[in-house]
Amino acid sequence: GEPVVPPQVVDLFHKQSPALPPGFNYDFEVLDPMTQKPVSQIPPAGQIELRLAVTNDSPLPKTLDFPTSLQAEFIARRVETFLGGLFVLPLEVWRSSYFHNISHTTTSLIFTPGETKVFTSLWTFKQTGEESVPVGDYRLLAKFYGATILVRISKPE
């Protein structure tokens, strides 16, 4: 049969993923900045645009408070596997807030009913050198109000 685990032990190990507050919805896309069309693979060199649209679907206005001036952030991680896939380690290769001054004063966003706010960032990379993006599988993340939204994408050979 199934092992019996006390609820207190289950609560220690099972944490719910942070999500957007009730009444909010999101759309996270990876786009070609020139055509504004979705991309399914990372190109050899150039840019991709990461776009997060957050919508207040509730009939009431909502205010979201942030501890700093950083309200949305985008992160790219390359998935590295070891020992034939036994170990998988996501290595961060880019973050939209790198080299940005972030004020540590609180900020707020006010959403009217049905309002959508869009956050974007351009990830620029080259084929070789320090800004290169190696072949492999990537996880692109958008962080907003404690929620982490994930898109999987690859860079072919």
Q: What is the 3-class SS of 92-151, one letter each residue?
A: EEEECCCCCCCCCCCEEEEECCCCEEEEEEEEEEECCCCCECCCEEEEEEEEECCEEEEE
Residue 17, pLDDT > 70, answer no
- What is the rounded average pLDDT of the residues 49-61? 95
Mapped onto helix, strand or coil, the DSSP state of residue 20 is: coil
Q: Residue 140's closest CA among 100, 102, 95?
A: 95
CA dihedral 57→63→65→68, nearest 10 degrees, is 80
Output the DSSP codes for 35-90. Answer: T--B-SB--SSEEEEEEEEEEE-SSS-EEEEESSS--EEEEEEEEEEETTTTEEEE
Weakest mean pLDDT among 1-15, 17-31, 74-88: 1-15
Token pair listed for 7: 């609820």
Q: Model-level pTM? A: 0.81
> Predicted confidence band at 98 (pLDDT cuts at 50, 70, 90)?
confident
Query: What is the pLDDT confidence band of residue 19, given thresholds at 50, 70 and 90?
Result: confident
pLDDT for 99 equals: 77
The encoded tokens of residue 53 equal 């649209």
The pLDDT score that the predictor gives to residue 63 is 93
| DSSP-assigned letter for residue 16 | P
What CA–CA distances, in Å, run from 97 to 22, 40, 128? 27, 24, 23
pLDDT of residue 103: 83
pLDDT of residue 109: 93
Tokens of residue 143, six digits: 């962080």
Looking at per-residue pLDDT, the higher value among 92 and 132 belongs to 92
Give 2's pLDDT tier (boundaries 50, 70, 90): low
